[in-house]
Structure 1
Amino acid sequence: MAGKSRSYRIESEIEKSREESNWKKVIDLAEQLKLRSPNSEYLATFLIGEGKLESFLEEYPPIDANISKARTGLTEAKRFLVNTASEPGKKAGVMLDSYLLLGKLHYAMGMYEDSLNYYNQAELQTLTEKQLPSRSLRIVAESYAIKGMCLEKVPPSSSSKYKQAEWDEQRIKCFELAGDLTLLYLQEQDKLQQQPTINTSTGSYSPQPPNPERQIGPVLETALQRAPILYIQAGKLQSAVTRYRTMLSAVESSATQSLRLTLTRQLAEVLLRGVSGTNDVSSSLRKSNPASNKKLTQIQNSGADSPWKPRKYTGFNLFIPRNENEEIILLLLISEAMAVRDAVLSQSPEFKEARIHAYDNATAIYDLLTIALVRWGHADLLHESFERAMKFSFEEPHVWMQHALCLVTMGQYAHALSILKEVTKLLPTKVIPCLLAARICYEQLNQVNEGLEWSSQALSREMSSPQSLLSRCHLYVGIGYSLQAAAIHLKQEKQYLLSSAIESFH
């Protein structure tokens, strides 16, 4: 009886370790289980194979660059899993999981057809949608994602349109299922990490914060992003929009915070491609929020028709855009908030790569915000965004230039000129900032002499570094001389300035 109790305790520890991806401990406990419970031999063998596969892939993710290492480093894991993908393994309840992990293993080894064969043996496409433990959710999510990626690597042999359409549909279905399961898995992971932990010394408990270092890996990242991209490539923009909305309405988990930035920006880009500004999106969004008439905001499983759907945000006081214009602005403002949150302010060399990555993300968002907000006359809102961007745009001329253009649009010419002066220092060879400063001086500030100085500086830069703006530079210099001549009353000096203007115009 004590032996049985000890075996149950080991199995419980194994499940906990699998949930935590502690594969070294899983292997050690499986070895103990094999010794203490001969009836659990195939279960222990499966767990050892799983542990060896996952620990290897944590060090060498399943990408093309690691295929050769996987072919030599996964032979032992393959031997264990092939052993349990059998009738005795079926009796032990591990045959299906063995097939799924063998599919993953062969994908890592670059054997895509073999991987598909294992998924066909597992009858992956006919699995019953039922509630699964966290580890099983991940295995199934990865299986659908890998099957989709294998299908992309092994296109249909037939050239018929029917086969091609069937192949496209199967790929998208795999990635959509994988994406839903991934979101659900990550939500479950957050729930597990936030469960109260009993403190025996004080008798109190407190929720543990989510582990920010948890990485979802390249397979699940692909699962989340691939389906809408395939819709876009097929020209089905509305389907892509619907898919993006579905993913973004899912309850956020700690592991998807950075990915959410990418998804919101991509959805805004898709909407900007063909937005009419009149499409009513509120009805389509409300369809995915059936509890929108309830009084208090709450989180519920709005995919109640399927246990494989992630939980979604629903509630009465959720803001729902009235049209696509509002939706685009909302998406970009959310993206900006996340980009500002992730901005790296330190100028230390060790943070250079992270700083550049965060800045590039932010710049892409500010460019989209510029297109959207200026098109609809919201330059003041754009100006607020650029003011926030200044704190992490040290010596970054692109954002400074955009800020200056925004100020020009708002009529704040003196402020725009002061920023353009900084831009000309950051871009010592560029002609455009000098010409823009000259135009502001001529047209808005009545500073003709300073405008002529900027025009002459632009001409000098064009002569030393040609940018196909020579005629424009001469034009601005000529305008400067003309304006000076108009303000001069001395005949000789006036004639000199006019002749200089004519010479520049020629």
Structure 2
Amino acid sequence: MSKLKGSRLEAEIDRVRADANWKRLGELLPSVKSKNSGLEDCYEMFQAEIVLETYLDQLGEIIRPSRDHVDKLSSAEQLLQTSLKEKSTNQNVKIEANILLAKVLYACVEFRKALQCISNSEMENGKTPFRTLRALRLVAEGYAIKGLCIESMEDPLPTSANRPHSNSTTSTTSTASSKDQKALYVFEKSAELAIFILMSSKNR
């Protein structure tokens, strides 16, 4: 098979990522890395995506945060850190690599760091059009990860040990309610995008 280039390569990459065909994406990496492919900035990100998603597929279940994932996902984390450091001017890489990194960090029980990656992606600012189905799916996952992180993080301790018990109870209840509302909001955003993605997939 002749090596794909330019718009043909980009279209094939978009297709296999939307189909979660990580084996085929791996086969396309030499073409991505080649000079003037137009996708050179995405090389490390795609490498990390293959490592992460193949590992999650092997688990065959939803992500369950555990320190056991750290060693298996360390290479993906390093590749994504490199991608964000060296290709930070590429807006697509900035958004997608940060969300992928958030997935890695959530899996490894680094909830605060995962939330920071979601913030760094700027996926919620509404200024960047998501040109591919895979990008939309990642944003939907990003909202879900944000909600899961919010739910998983411990509530902050009261600021004063001498606060009256009744006030402390009220404050704790209010904090929990606010936390639940934030989580619910981002879960709803994730669900809305998931429905849109499903409808778009049927029309492909």
TM-score scaled by length of structure 2: 0.79
CA distance in structure 2 between the aligned counterparts of 1:11 and 1:100, rounded to whole angstroms: 20
Deviation at 1:181, TM superposition (A): 0.9
Number of residue equivalences:
188
Q: Quickly say closer, same or farther: Cα 1:16–1:174, change in 2 above 3 A.
A: same
Deviation at 1:124, TM superposition (A): 4.2
Contact 1:138 1:182 in 2 (8 A): yes
Contact 1:103 1:115 in 2 (8 A): yes
CA distance in structure 2 between the aligned counterparts of 1:139 and 1:131, rounded to whole angstroms: 10
Q: Quickly say closer, same or farther: Cα 1:120–1:21, change in 2 above 3 A.
A: same
CA distance in structure 2 between the aligned counterparts of 1:131 and 1:95, rounded to whole angstroms: 12
Contact 2:144 2:187 in 1 (8 A): yes
Residue by residue over 1:367-394, the C-alpha shift from the partner in whole angstroms, topping out at 9 and shown as x without a partner, is xxxxxxxxxxxxxxxxxxxxxxxxxxxx
Deviation at 1:77, TM superposition (A): 1.4
One-letter amino acid matched to 1:95: K
Deviation at 1:169, TM superposition (A): 1.8
For the pair 1:46 / 2:58, whether they are aligned, the reply is no
CA distance in structure 2 between the aligned counterparts of 1:33 and 1:191, rounded to whole angstroms: 28
> Counterpart of 2:90?
91
Deviation at 1:115, TM superposition (A): 1.0
Q: Quickly say closer, same or farther: Cα 1:181–1:132, change in 2 above 3 A.
A: farther
Contact 1:156 1:164 in 2 (8 A): yes
Deviation at 1:43, TM superposition (A): 1.4
Q: Quickly say closer, same or farther: Cα 1:162–1:126, change in 2 above 3 A.
A: farther
CA distance in structure 1 between the aligned counterparts of 2:152 and 2:77, rounded to whole angstroms: 22
Contact 2:31 2:37 in 1 (8 A): no
> Counterpart of 2:200?
188
For the pair 1:117 / 2:116, whether they are aligned, the reply is yes
Deviation at 1:174, TM superposition (A): 0.6
Q: How does 1:213-228 map to 2 (within 5 A)?
A: none
Contact 1:85 1:96 in 2 (8 A): no
Deviation at 1:120, TM superposition (A): 2.1
Q: Quickly say closer, same or farther: Cα 1:138–1:81, change in 2 above 3 A.
A: same
Contact 1:30 1:45 in 2 (8 A): no
TM-score scaled by length of structure 1: 0.34
Q: Which runs of 5+ in 2 are unaligned?
A: 159-170
For the pair 1:178 / 2:177, whether they are aligned, the reply is no
Residue by residue over 1:376-429, the C-alpha shift from the partner in whole angstroms, topping out at 9 and shown as x without a partner, is xxxxxxxxxxxxxxxxxxxxxxxxxxxxxxxxxxxxxxxxxxxxxxxxxxxxxx
Deviation at 1:13, TM superposition (A): 1.2
Contact 2:6 2:37 in 1 (8 A): no
Q: Quickly say closer, same or farther: Cα 1:105–1:44, change in 2 above 3 A.
A: same
> Counterpart of 1:63?
63
CA distance in structure 1 between the aligned counterparts of 2:54 and 2:177, rounded to whole angstroms: 38
One-letter amino acid matched to 1:174: V
CA distance in structure 2 between the aligned counterparts of 1:34 and 1:62, rounded to whole angstroms: 31
Pairwise CA RMSD = 2.6
> Counterpart of 1:32?
31
Q: Which runs of 5+ in 1 are unaligned?
A: 193-506
Q: How does 1:351-500 map to 2 (within 5 A)?
A: none
One-letter amino acid matched to 2:184: I
CA distance in structure 2 between the aligned counterparts of 1:131 and 1:98, rounded to whole angstroms: 14
Deviation at 1:88, TM superposition (A): 2.3
> Counterpart of 1:100?
99
> Counterpart of 1:82?
81
Q: How does 1:265-280 map to 2 (within 5 A)?
A: none
CA distance in structure 2 between the aligned counterparts of 1:111 and 1:42, rounded to whole angstroms: 26
One-letter amino acid matched to 2:53: E
Please point out which of 180, 183, 194 is paired with 1:168: 180
CA distance in structure 1 between the aligned counterparts of 2:39 and 2:203, rounded to whole angstroms: 30
Q: Quickly say closer, same or farther: Cα 1:129–1:48, change in 2 above 3 A.
A: closer
Q: Quickly say closer, same or farther: Cα 1:171–1:186, change in 2 above 3 A.
A: same
Contact 2:14 2:132 in 1 (8 A): no
> Counterpart of 2:6?
7
Bigger Rg, structure 1 or 2: 1
Q: Quickly say closer, same or farther: Cα 1:28–1:108, change in 2 above 3 A.
A: same
Sequence identity, in percent? 25
Q: Quickly say closer, same or farther: Cα 1:82–1:110, change in 2 above 3 A.
A: same
Deviation at 1:148, TM superposition (A): 0.4
Deviation at 1:170, TM superposition (A): 1.0
CA distance in structure 2 between the aligned counterparts of 1:12 and 1:124, rounded to whole angstroms: 23
Q: Secondary structure at the match of 2:5?
A: helix
